[in-house]
Structure 1
Amino acid sequence: MPTISIPKKELFEAIGTKLSPAKLHETLASMGIPLEAEDDKELTLEVTANRPDLLSFQGIARYLASYLGLKQQSMYKAQSPKENYKVIIDSSVKKVRPYTACAIAGNLSLNDEKIRELIQIQEKLHITFGRNRKKVAIGIYPLESISLPIHYKADKPEKISFAPLGFSRKMTGMQILQQHPSGKEYAGLLEGKSHFPFFIDSKGSILSMPPIINSDDTGKISESTKEAFIECSGFDMDSVMQGVSIISCALLDMGAKVFSMKLCYPDKEIISPRLEPQKIKLDLSYVERYLGIRLNKNEISSSLRKTGLEFNQGTDQVMVPPYRTDILHQIDLVEEIAVGYGYSKLPSEPSPVFSVGKESPTEILKKKIREIMASCGLVEAKNYYLTGEEYETSMVLKSYKLVHLKNSMSSDFNVLRRAILPGLLRTLQKNKHHDYSQELFEQGTAFIPKGTSIIEEERLACILCSKDADYTRIRQVLDILLRELDIKAAFSEKTGSAFIEGRCAEVSADGKPLGLIGEVSPEVLDNFSLEMPASAFEVSVSTLKGLIEKRL
């Protein structure tokens, strides 16, 4: 888990009281923030990956004060944007890094400690919430050096020229990737892109080239900075909005004023940040069912207030602050109630059901398949059940029904996967910087809608990606698997949308279809930015299990 260093003296000043070591340790443990290390001046705390709002001094102080009942939860608000508080997003960034969310902070009173806090939250968010800048990258700039409005656009790297942070001479976009330490570290994020994104002000001064580096001229805040421009860029609008909200709330806790900005996209205008609380209806019977005890509304309100949430007893709605990106469902509210109420107070009793467990037949078969595939020299991959709709359909040239998530928070995770192969293609896409050949397999559950129900089917997919990956090589792998499982299969020519016509076959056994095998279509490879040929198969483990059981 990520850690954060917090100065003790400033923490006690922020919450308005000094705690004894025993009380401090007990409270932090109850809050779910383990103490990693401690000395006379600092605390080092572990923060779970789902709580990016706690990756700052302000976040820890805010949570601790709420938990102890020392301060009432603040209602965060951004001031309306002034006339020229605009960011104009050009269509050229659509295929590079398409989204940004921005804010302006005023009334800043910075010293060395506060600058260190800002840098710490920026870097911690990069590593965790931003997935090492792949998902979200953050920039903070002194507004005094910038002429509004700001433009966000993309251009060929040789046409981008500015002095990167720490350098006095100008460099092109490609030179920055090759020569600057940050450019070398994060070069993979722009690998294969013909255009690089950048922020530029109305006078033509480049602010930064996200997600790599800020400009040395306009990208350094200092103690003299009174106003700052904050931007988050990435591939998902919800994520960049959440990122700028977390930083905005931290700045408000520092005493700053936060102003919204108008984001002018080619097809719409958006106001950012949005700091209104999210409202979630709480079912009290749901709370009782999962906690095992009945709490009245006053107890629920008191418990939620300790974790920084407000409960309206009249409407049964919970007000979730904009920085709480981890609360997506009622079950998350139940967890917050348990934390605020105290896990130690919850009754414990032994389960009335006792049974002896054993390994399921499906897992036994999957273990054997895993051993066979590994003996062929393949590496096992594991991908999420949740994925993006485009990866399951348009990018693999398919069009079929999927299981959609209601109120999905991200377009990257808005459906349940219907096939395993798209996930392996994404894995290859993210590992292009590694040597070839890359030979992967994955076993897992696919979710197939049928009427009003959902069929869960265990499947196996395998993909070979190298200059000599063809039908013959992938067929050899499948033949070895079927031979070791004692399955006699038949192959018949088939047209598969993700495969090359004439180089694809349907696999069946005992008259039952098992799956498809073939060479991956060049169009699909292009969609995933893969430059090497690939061949693959995907078969039903559930059907294989049925064939084996029938034989026994």
Structure 2
Amino acid sequence: MVILETEHKQLNKIIGRKLEIKELEEILFSLGYELESAEGDKLRIDITTERPDLLSTYGLGRALRAYLGNKNDEIKINKSNYKVNVKQPAKEWMNTAAAVVKGLKLDDEKIREIIRVQEKIGGTFLRNRKKGAIGVYPLEKIKFPITFTAEKPEKIKFRPLEYQKEINGKEILEKHATGMKYKHLLEKWEKYPIFTDSKNKILSMPPIINSHELGRVDEKTTEVFVEVSGRELKTIDMALNVMISALVGIGGKIYSVEVNYGNKKITTPEFKGEKRTIKTEYVNKIIGTELKTNEVKKLLEKMNHKVVSSNPNSLTIITDPLRTDIWHDIDIVDDIARAYGFNNLELRMKNVESTGETTRSVKVKEEISKLLIGLGYQECFTLMLTNKETQFEKMNIKEPGYVKLGTTVEQGINMIRQWLLPELIRVLENNRSAEYPQKIFEISHTTVIDNTKDVGCRDVLKLSIVNCHSNVNFTEMKQVLDYLFNTLGIQYELTEVEHESFIKGRNAKIKHNNEYIGNFGEINPKVLENFGIEMPCTGLEINLTELFRL
């Protein structure tokens, strides 16, 4: 949870009606949030971290206003000639989006509000600046066009915010308080990101710190330049929208900025929601209601979604452009349920009786495990998270598509495993001093790319077996395969195949009902050398999901 500190009067002003504390507390609770304290006019409200759009007084007031049936004005974007040129940015920090906001009347409290929103978006949605960072600058002090680029840290020289003198990029990480706090984000980068204006003055060094000269907003500031820079354009677009909306809430007017990437140009911000079609039957099935389409329409509008068309069976909507947490249709249904009120749902017992039982995949796993343990094999459990060196390079194969991980604390972890065999060979590598033969197996899930799925991947249950001793050979592993499939009543055939992880001519492709389900054979000596294993090995891997149609 994240704390929003706001004022009761200001919140009521945005909502358009006076809400007593008790009523406000009940509405917040029904939406999934909590009024932590109310002392005089000061409010402290717990907001869940997936809703950065509610981290400003305007954002929360806008959501409550819609919930209470008052329509919100669409956020207007004025055209302008402001430009940002992206030139040779740091490869780790390549994207930016920007806007200009005018007509601000700032005081000490409003400046603190801007800083709070900026820090909370950076700390939650932008994952403590790992995904992006926000900069706000007084417009009158900078000259367009702005350039977003990167430079070696020793060549970056400016006076960072609230620091007494000019220092270089490296020194900022070592001497400035904010630099030391976020040093881990870019200290290993060859070049650091910077924003400069047309006079070549540095505005900031994201994701660390603004310039004291050009990046300090005060009560005299009426116009600001806002930029968000980071790794992924979609993420920083969303962060910019949320930040800009907070400035609209304190009287600002938005002006667009053209961002020129050289080979493409984009205009930001856009404030465009996502178009989705929601079936009324699906909504009722999930929530357990019997709502009509027109009733669902009213509930969607209470959650700030725009219904563009509807028929008795479905609705086409444009999602709230400030929502960063809408990923699937179920998220829309969750909004509908909140608008309907969980306390209003009828408590009903199911009129069917069911008996729990083990899933088919678990039954398959248990049966195969028993058979292999009976043959003297030991079951292993390796980790889902691994690295591409183990999965591909050491296995002597080219990299296929795989599920990559973002920035991790453990630098040696960068992907989700795609097959089990490399991980079992790592077990052998870590147990080279143990007695031979070493006979191990694992039945676990792997993750493969699948663009037909909404998350772009799917889990696959696989079996992998490794046998390691001085006289191991292809025939021995085939005998294990024969025993397993004969016991399970499965017909299969073998065909020749070239696989760089196995010795040529001593491996085979396994097919069932004319469909490929796996490989086995003698492990390539080059692979064994990569893992530091001197004893010969055989390996097998079978796709159980495909074999048993799990």
**TM superposition score normalised by structure 1:** 0.73
Relative to structure 1, is the Cα distance of residues 207 and 355 closer, same or farther in structure 2, using a 3 angstrom cutoff?
same
Matched, 1:177 2:173: yes
CA deviation digits over 1:146-192, x for unaligned, max 9?
Answer: 11110000111111000111112111111111111111111111132
* Alignment partners' CA distance in 2, 1:330 and 1:156: 45
Out of 252, 256, 259, which is 1:263 matched to? 259
* Alignment partners' CA distance in 1, 2:191 and 2:417: 38
Matched, 1:132 2:110: no
Relative to structure 1, is the Cα distance of residues 217 and 473 closer, same or farther in structure 2, using a 3 angstrom cutoff?
same
* Alignment partners' CA distance in 2, 1:338 and 1:515: 57
Counterpart mapping for 1:522-541 below 5 A: none
Out of 261, 278, 282, which is 1:286 matched to? 282
SS of 1:91 mapped into structure 2: coil
Matched, 1:9 2:9: yes
Indicate if the aligned counterparts of 1:508 and 1:514 stay in contact, CA closer than 8 A. no
* Alignment partners' CA distance in 2, 1:55 and 1:518: 58
Relative to structure 1, is the Cα distance of residues 224 and 304 closer, same or farther in structure 2, using a 3 angstrom cutoff?
same
Question: Structure 1: which amino acid aligns with 2:212?
Answer: D
SS of 2:23 mapped into structure 1: helix
Indicate if the aligned counterparts of 1:459 and 1:541 stay in contact, CA closer than 8 A. no
Out of 218, 234, 247, which is 2:243 matched to? 247
Match of residue 342 from structure 1? 341
Match of residue 156 from structure 1? 152
Counterpart mapping for 1:514-525 below 5 A: none
1:293 Cα shift? Answer: 2.6
1:294 Cα shift? Answer: 3.0
Match of residue 407 from structure 1? none
Out of 393, 398, 410, which is 1:431 matched to? 410
CA deviation digits over 1:260-286, x for unaligned, max 9?
Answer: 100010211110111233322222232
Out of 489, 499, 504, which is 2:467 matched to? 489
1:476 Cα shift? Answer: 6.4
Relative to structure 1, is the Cα distance of residues 192 and 540 closer, same or farther in structure 2, using a 3 angstrom cutoff?
farther
Matched, 1:319 2:315: no
* Alignment partners' CA distance in 2, 1:59 and 1:367: 55
Moved more, 214-223 or 73-82: 73-82
Indicate if the aligned counterparts of 2:437 and 2:467 stay in contact, CA closer than 8 A. no
Question: Alignment length, in residue pairs?
Answer: 472
* Alignment partners' CA distance in 1, 2:187 and 2:526: 25
* Alignment partners' CA distance in 2, 1:123 and 1:366: 53
Relative to structure 1, is the Cα distance of residues 535 and 242 closer, same or farther in structure 2, using a 3 angstrom cutoff?
farther
Matched, 1:90 2:87: yes
Matched, 1:513 2:520: yes
Relative to structure 1, is the Cα distance of residues 284 and 445 closer, same or farther in structure 2, using a 3 angstrom cutoff?
farther
Identity of aligned residues (%): 31
Question: Structure 1: which amino acid aligns with 2:467?
Answer: A
SS of 1:110 mapped into structure 2: coil
Relative to structure 1, is the Cα distance of residues 175 and 29 closer, same or farther in structure 2, using a 3 angstrom cutoff?
same
1:105 Cα shift? Answer: 0.5
Indicate if the aligned counterparts of 1:459 and 1:542 stay in contact, CA closer than 8 A. no
Counterpart mapping for 1:95-244 below 5 A: 95-244=91-240
* Alignment partners' CA distance in 2, 1:480 and 1:17: 78
1:333 Cα shift? Answer: 1.7
SS of 1:282 mapped into structure 2: strand
Question: Structure 1: which amino acid aligns with 2:85?
Answer: I
CA deviation digits over 1:296-323, x for unaligned, max 9?
Answer: 2321121112111122345732122221
Question: Structure 1: which amino acid aligns with 2:278?
Answer: L
Question: Structure 2: which amino acid aligns with 1:144?
Answer: E
Indicate if the aligned counterparts of 1:63 and 1:308 stay in contact, CA closer than 8 A. yes
Moved more, 188-197 or 43-52: 43-52
Indicate if the aligned counterparts of 1:518 and 1:535 stay in contact, CA closer than 8 A. no
Relative to structure 1, is the Cα distance of residues 294 and 470 closer, same or farther in structure 2, using a 3 angstrom cutoff?
closer
Indicate if the aligned counterparts of 2:438 and 2:467 stay in contact, CA closer than 8 A. no
1:202 Cα shift? Answer: 0.5
Matched, 1:28 2:28: yes
Indicate if the aligned counterparts of 1:163 and 1:215 stay in contact, CA closer than 8 A. yes
Relative to structure 1, is the Cα distance of residues 372 and 306 closer, same or farther in structure 2, using a 3 angstrom cutoff?
same
Indicate if the aligned counterparts of 1:470 and 1:534 stay in contact, CA closer than 8 A. no
1:288 Cα shift? Answer: 2.8
SS of 1:489 mapped into structure 2: strand
1:199 Cα shift? Answer: 0.2
* Alignment partners' CA distance in 1, 2:212 and 2:437: 58
Indicate if the aligned counterparts of 1:86 and 1:262 stay in contact, CA closer than 8 A. yes
CA deviation digits over 1:211-238, x for unaligned, max 9?
Answer: 1111111111111111111111111111
Counterpart mapping for 1:325-404 below 5 A: 325-351=324-350, 352-357=352-357, 360=362, 398=398, 400=400
1:27 Cα shift? Answer: 0.7
SS of 1:4 mapped into structure 2: strand
Match of residue 478 from structure 2? none
* Alignment partners' CA distance in 2, 1:220 and 1:535: 57
* Alignment partners' CA distance in 1, 2:414 and 2:195: 41
| Aligned Cα root-mean-square deviation (Å) | 4.6
